[in-house]
């Protein structure tokens, strides 16, 4: 997607305008007041071209800057999401380890193997051991209302759950910021299209000999340029 008017496009329009004005008679040479008034339009056209050149350069720079910001922020969002998935997978692996050690303890309990139960309990992670002791204190083998297992206890914290959720939230925030930056870039490109329209209108106005036609094109160009300037003023400014 183009990010602004190229310097060659603006330079070509200015060169064509200069060549067109050279063909017009110089007011001092003709000594004619009417001819003198004709030079108002070329000067106005030259001013418009100069303004468009400056604004187009700024709009192109701002669009490129916002586009870069969008790409970097979206990359951060992707990295944060990947890290969240990694932490989540690590948590799932830890939960599987907790289940495996508990199953070993439960099997030893059913076999009435105190030594096996002690070995299994020794393998419990510290945080799981807290949940296990709280669950065992509910007399699960005689209490029908006891929780189904240690992982159902409020003391049991899913490993990495809070970290993964925080990273997911961070990734979402980055993504939303990157989307806004991308919209800002698109808006500057849209403004550049308006400036290109002004460049086209002013560029072809010099090819008309009728004063009314040239004036009409200039008026339309000024109107579009004014709208583009308002958009540039109200648009978010990129960080320099």
For the chain, which residues make up each domain, given as ranges?
Answer: 7-234
Residue of 139, 132, 107, 151 whose CA lies nearest to 115: 107
pLDDT number for residue 233: 94
Instruction: Give the least confident one: 26-40, 78-92, 124-138, 163-177.
Output: 26-40
pLDDT number for residue 1: 44
Decide: pTM greater than 0.85: no
Mark 44-68 as b/e (b = at least 16 C-beta within 10 Å).
bbbebbebbbebbbbbbebbbbbbe
pLDDT number for residue 35: 52
The stretch 206-226 carries a mean pLDDT of 84
Q: How confident is the model at residue 75 (pLDDT cuts 50, 70, 90)?
A: very high
pLDDT at 143 over 60: yes
C-alpha span between 225 and 238 (Å, rounded): 21
- Encoded tokens for 59: 């709009």
Q: 13: buried, middle or exposed (CB in 10 Å: 19+, 13-18, 0-12)?
A: buried
Which carries the bigger pLDDT value, residue 101 or residue 212? Answer: 101
pLDDT at 27 over 50: no
Q: Where are the alpha helices (DSSP H) in 147-239?
A: 161-205, 211-234
């Amino acid at each position: 997607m183009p990010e602004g008017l190229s310097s060659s496009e603006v330079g070509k329009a200015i060169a064509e305008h200069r060549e067109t004005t050279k063909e017009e008679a110089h007011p001092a040479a003709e000594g004619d007041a009417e001819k003198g008034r004709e030079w108002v339009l070329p000067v106005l056209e030259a001013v418009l071209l100069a303004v468009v050149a400056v604004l187009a350069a700024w709009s192109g720079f701002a669009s490129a800057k916002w586009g870069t910001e969008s790409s970097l922020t979206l990359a951060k969002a992707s990295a944060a999401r990947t890290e969240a998935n990694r932490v989540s997978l690590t948590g799932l692996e830890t939960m599987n380890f907790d289940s495996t050690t508990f199953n070993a303890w439960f099997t030893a309990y059913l076999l009435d193997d105190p030594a096996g139960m002690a070995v299994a309990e020794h393998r419990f992670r510290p945080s799981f051991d807290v949940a296990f002791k709280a669950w065992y204190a509910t007399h699960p083998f005689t209490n029908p209302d006891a929780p189904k297992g240690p992982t159902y206890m409020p003391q049991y914290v899913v490993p990495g759950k809070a970290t993964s959720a925080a990273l997911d939230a961070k990734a979402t925030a980055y993504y939303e910021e990157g989307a806004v930056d991308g919209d800002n870039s698109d808006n500057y490109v849209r403004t550049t299209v308006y400036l290109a329209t002004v460049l086209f209108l002013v560029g072809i106005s010099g090819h008309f000999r009728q004063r009314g036609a040239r004036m009409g094109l200039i008026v339309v160009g000024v109107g579009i340029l004014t709208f583009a300037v308002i958009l540039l003023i109200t648009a978010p400014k990129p960080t320099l």
